[in-house]
């Protein structure tokens, strides 16, 4: 199956999730999962930083219909004194990050972004990235524009990346390339998949934790543990 067919398959699943009566509940679960994870990461980063009172820079996004609605996270962490929130700013086919501030204007690809904001070159600590899905290399399968890929390739230091989507879209073969954005954690309402490397032996292993509140996982997730 080609990458385009897989991309369309994943997109169809996200469209079904968008129209599902459980959409709000799925977003509620995602919001809780990501908020807990962010608080843990922020706490660890604060301990590591030489300047403990400096703010943690987080890249979020303004959601499209098929993407997890992260507005609660945007507003919650914007109010915190120890974090600074940025949004993607689309310029032609390139992405820059700008500070999250209102009002927002609708720009290319139907994406809302801050108007008239100055481009920031702040060091990025954490990035929450919407995805269609991932492949076996834990690299992002996106909409095919390569916008996030070009942005991350130009960063001097890679941030902690967290992929998120409303459907568990995992493809058990390599269909991405080295320049596609890579993560170590993929969060969905149904399960969280982590890609880890054991420090002492450098052995890579993967783990999946399911959400017990969903009595039955979607059919495409039933054999995922065997695939991992």
| pLDDT range class, residue 196, cuts 50, 70, 90 | low
HSE-up of 112 (CA within 13 Å, CB side)? 13
Q: Which helix (H) or strand (E) holds 63?
A: none
Task: Compute the average pLDDT of residues 104-118.
Answer: 59
Cα 166 from Cα 21, distance rounded (Å): 13
Cα 68 from Cα 201, distance rounded (Å): 36
From the list 131, 116, 128, the residue with the least C-alpha distance to 86 is 128
Tell me 98's DSSP state.
E
Reported as a single tens digit per residue, the pLDDT across 16-52 is 999 999 999 999 999 999 999 999 999 999 888 655 6
Reported as a single tens digit per residue, the pLDDT across 141-184 is 988 877 888 888 888 889 999 999 999 999 989 999 888 999 98
Domains and CATH numbers, the chain: 3-227 (3.40.50.10420)
Identify which has the larger pLDDT, 115 or 145: 145
Identify which has the larger pLDDT, 137 or 220: 137
User: Whole-prediction pTM value?
Assistant: 0.83
Asked whether the predicted pLDDT for residue 91 surpasses 50, the reply is yes
Identify which has the larger pLDDT, 6 or 97: 6
Q: What is the pLDDT of residue 99?
A: 78
Cα 59 from Cα 110, distance rounded (Å): 19
CB 144 within 8 A of CB 132: no
Cα 10 from Cα 6, distance rounded (Å): 6
Cα 68 from Cα 166, distance rounded (Å): 6
């Amino acid at each position: 199956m080609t990458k385009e067919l897989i991309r369309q398959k994943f997109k169809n699943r996200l469209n079904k999730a968008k129209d599902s009566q459980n959409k709000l509940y799925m977003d509620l679960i995602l919001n809780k999962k990501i908020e807990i994870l962010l608080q843990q990461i922020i706490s660890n980063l604060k301990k590591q930083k030489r300047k403990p009172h400096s703010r943690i820079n987080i890249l979020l996004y303004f959601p499209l219909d098929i993407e997890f609605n992260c507005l609660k996270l945007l507003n919650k962490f914007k109010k915190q004194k120890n974090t600074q929130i940025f949004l993607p700013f689309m310029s032609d086919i390139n992405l820059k990050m700008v500070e999250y501030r209102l009002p927002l204007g609708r720009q290319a690809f139907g994406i809302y972004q801050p108007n008239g904001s100055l481009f920031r070159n702040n060091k990025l600590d954490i990035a929450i990235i919407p995805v269609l899905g991932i492949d076996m290399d834990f690299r992002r399968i996106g909409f095919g524009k390569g916008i996030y890929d070009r942005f991350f390739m130009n960063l001097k230091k890679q941030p902690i990346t967290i992929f998120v989507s409303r459907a568990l879209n995992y493809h058990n073969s390599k269909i991405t390339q080295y320049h596609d954005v890579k993560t170590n954690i993929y969060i969905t309402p149904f399960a969280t998949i982590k890609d880890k490397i054991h420090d002492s032996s450098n052995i890579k292993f993967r783990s999946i934790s399911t959400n017990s509140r969903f009595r039955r996982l979607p059919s495409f997730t039933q054999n995922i543990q065997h695939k991992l």
